[in-house]
Chain A
Amino acid sequence: MTRPLRTPIRRWLVAIALAVAWATPAATQELTFGALVESQFIAYLAPSRRFDPLGRAELRFRPRLRLGIAAWGDLRIELDTRADAARRDRDRTNLREAHLELARGSIEVRLGRMFGTWGRADALAPANPWDARDYSDPLDAAEEPVPEDGVQLTWFGAAVSVEAVVVPRFRGSLLPGLDSRWWPDLPSIATVPLDQAGNTVVLATRYTMGPASWPQGGQGRTAAGVRVTGSSGGWDLAVSAFDGPIDLPAYLPVARPDVEREVVEIRFDRLFYRIRSLGADFATVVGPVGLHGEAAWLVPYDEPRLASDQRRSWIHWVVGGDLRRGGIWNGHDLFALVEWSREMWPSGAWEPFVFDLTHAFRNTLFARLELERPGFSAIRLEAAIDAAGGGWFGRIRREWVLGSGMRLDLAIDWPGGATDSYFGAFVRNRRGHVRFIYTL
């Protein structure tokens, strides 16, 4: 069942509507509407061991509105409605975007629900702490950013710009549930210590998911960040600082053995802990190749519930290059991209839980190759090679533009590799899908 609009959303709508009504004489308004309709059918090549069916049908509707207010204001509202016939827990009705942007000279203020887009890399953006996503289907997560509600203030100087963001209640990423295809297979039995003499007992496992847990006290879910960007001599550079909850939680297993019932209940608590991070990113061009990269030093703090290893600070960087060539073959354009993601712990390496998405791509190569005939068709290849875990992922997508704003996609997703790697654990989720998109 589709969820009704939630109270905070209504609050935003009312607040923004009042602000606009107050601020704009009717004569200066320019109103435009648009919408996206998308239907997608996914067929998995193997049945799930859980409740997910072999196929999935999804319908999405995204109406959007934009109100231009003279030269100084801009209101954007986009609603996102998703209905998943097979996984009703993926149904959504959300305000995807709802913000008012006011510009005066070199100052710009954005208020409301918006996306954070720090950083330069495509596959992963360690310097973008606002990069929360809907991972209920991780292979679609790139197209499913989660917006935040807050205030963004930007000053545009001649050589640099400074952006400050405050989010009172950080939303974070959405993650697959225990009954999802995208939750890994865990042991069905566990050896549990029985007494201090070293005796053990083997019990059946029963897993449950605890509620998401946010930082207690202090600044709680509040997040704030500042970013300074500039361009000079063919380089785009930025540095940033952030203080707030991490967008992906740590999983904390809490075991409760019940010897009489011969079962151990293992509850996974999802803990969104606070971090401080310093980030930097760059982009430049060398000959025909665009180079970019970003890095962040991330420091968890003020969270005693984390295990000691999880409390360590780490550095995550991504470097990449891209190449574009137009009209290379029969009017096709070529786009090639390679990015390398690497994580390091200055206090010594450790092995995070393989399904901890925060560290899932700690030594991973991403590649993309696209051949597109703009306006008509495209073929896109994607690959990821997880050198740390031994997993890999491949995708081939064929797209046809059927008419103005109408597109048909066919794609195959193919995870593989070591069974204890992130991708290799999901070989049963190899799938094909067809998607129809109409944008007006």
Chain B
Amino acid sequence: MTAQSTTAGPRRLRSPLASLAAFVTLTSGVPVQEPTSGLDVMQRYDAEQRTADSEVTVDLTLFNARGDARERRLVLRTKTRPDGRRLLLIQFLAPGDVEGTGFLQIENHDRADDLWLYLPALRRVRRIAGSSRTDRFVGTHFTFEDLDPEDLAAHDYTLAGVDTLDGRSAWVVEAVGANGAEESAYSRRRLWIDQERSVLLRADLYAREGGLTKRLRAEEVRQVAESGPWRAHRVEMEDLIDGSRTVLKMNTYTLDQGLPDDLFTERTLRRGR
């Protein structure tokens, strides 16, 4: 089954971690007519990124400023319920010292999301508070904000031009927070969206103080299945201040396989797989 596009339009997730679910679907799209504005580009991009559920195995490599690498493997499962609430389950598969560590999040519309952490050393599931959008995610260079789905209502978009990245034509869109936007670590973002596939290829992120601070590069864009949606299979976030970075390699993508709700429970967290 291929991914189903939705017409949900702009929608805010209530908690940053829930937005991680959207990260694996940040880059997808279909050929469309010439956009007329930055918002038009982003609406097409946003409309194509959602799926009913997904399961992705990710190799995560952290590089510090000296270039030392630390590798982790995790599996990330997401689901959107019929009522629009998102479910998220992340479980670390390797190395052995973090194997079995898991996060479970259930998005709520009327109150803060439910979030649990399982640490295998303690063999105990602990309810935890949601993180700030500007916090880093599990020590990576991605903040929860970076992993959020694009909140179209909370930003002003300007079509800044056209550029070519690795032979791909891309729309360049400037995004700045609109009035009422949630807290952000960035004063503005410059986004490169693949013209043909509506895939995010690059993002330059400017600190609140104004300087360029981080750069995201999305590469190895391939269709998930023969006629499935396009997805970046390698995403890198670099700290331009000290040169440290995080690389995510998506090994396996499975979309819209009908993940059951009862997969997203403490029971699965404890089982560690």
Contact = CB atoms under 8 A, between A and B. Distances in A.
Interface of A: 34-36, 68, 74, 101, 108, 115, 117, 119-120, 122, 143, 156, 161, 231, 233-234, 236, 283-285, 287-290, 292, 322-327, 331, 333, 372-376, 401, 403-405, 407, 437, 439-440
Contact of B97 (A115, A161, A292, A407): A407
A403 B71 CA distance: 9
B71 A404 contact: yes
Interface string B108-148: 00011011000001111011111110111111010110000
Interface string B167-197: 0000000000000000000000000000000
Contacts of A374: 62, 138-139
Contacts of A376: 62, 64, 68, 70, 139
A388 B29 CA distance: 66
A284 B244 CA distance: 36
Contact of B135 (A108, A290, A325): A325
Contacts of A288: 129, 132
Contacts of A234: 111-112, 114
A6 to B, nearest CB: 24
A85 to B, nearest CB: 25
B128 A324 contact: yes
Nearest to B131: A326
A376 B96 CA distance: 15
Contact of B136 (A323, A327, A407): A327
A292 B121 CA distance: 19
Given A34-B99, A115-B123, A284-B127, 7 more contacts: A288-B129, A326-B144, A327-B135, A374-B139, A404-B94, A439-B97, A439-B99
A375 B62 contact: yes
| Size range of the chain B interface in the assembly | 35 or more
14 contacts: A36-B96, A143-B121, A285-B129, A290-B126, A292-B126, A292-B127, A326-B132, A327-B136, A327-B143, A333-B136, A374-B62, A376-B68, A405-B96, A439-B96
Given A404-B70, A440-B95, A440-B96, A285 B127 contact: yes
8 A-B pairs with least C-beta separation: A374-B139, A326-B135, A327-B136, A439-B96, A375-B70, A405-B95, A283-B127, A439-B97
Contacts of A322: 126, 128
A283 B70 contact: no
A109 B121 CA distance: 22
A68 B273 contact: yes
- Name the prevailing secondary structure of the A interface residues: strand
Contact of B123 (A117, A373, A403): A117
B130 to A, nearest CB: 8
Contact of A290 (B70, B129, B138, B265): B129
B11 interface: no
Contacts of A292: 126-127
Main secondary structure of the interface of B (DSSP, over half): loop
Contact of B244 (A289, A331, A407): A331
Contact of A74 (B126, B143, B271): B271
Interface in B75-125: 94-97, 99, 111-112, 114-115, 121-124
Residue among A122, A289, A375, A437 with most chain B CB within 10 A: A375
B208 interface: no
A178 B127 CA distance: 41
Residue among B64, B70, B134 having the largest count of chain A Cβ atoms under 10 Å: B70
Contacts of B131: 324-326
A231 B104 CA distance: 14
A439 B139 contact: no
Contact of A156 (B99, B136, B139, B267): B267
A120 B128 CA distance: 12
B72 interface: yes
B97 A437 contact: yes
B267 A108 contact: yes
Interface string B236-273: 00000000100000000000000000100101000101
Contacts of A289: 129
A290 B117 CA distance: 12
Contacts of A290: 126-129
Contact of B139 (A324, A331, A404): A331
Contacts of B112: 234, 285
Interface string B192-213: 0000000000000000000000
- Which interface residue of B68, B126, B127, B262 has the most chain A CB atoms within 10 A? B127
A283 B266 CA distance: 14
A376 B139 CA distance: 9
B21 to A, nearest CB: 18
Contact of B137 (A326, A401, A437, A439): A326
Nearest to A36: B96
B129 A156 contact: no
B139 A333 contact: yes
A287 B129 contact: yes
A30 to B, nearest CB: 9
Contacts of A331: 136, 139, 141, 244
Nearest to B108: A234
Contacts of B64: 376
Nearest to B96: A439
A236 B267 contact: no
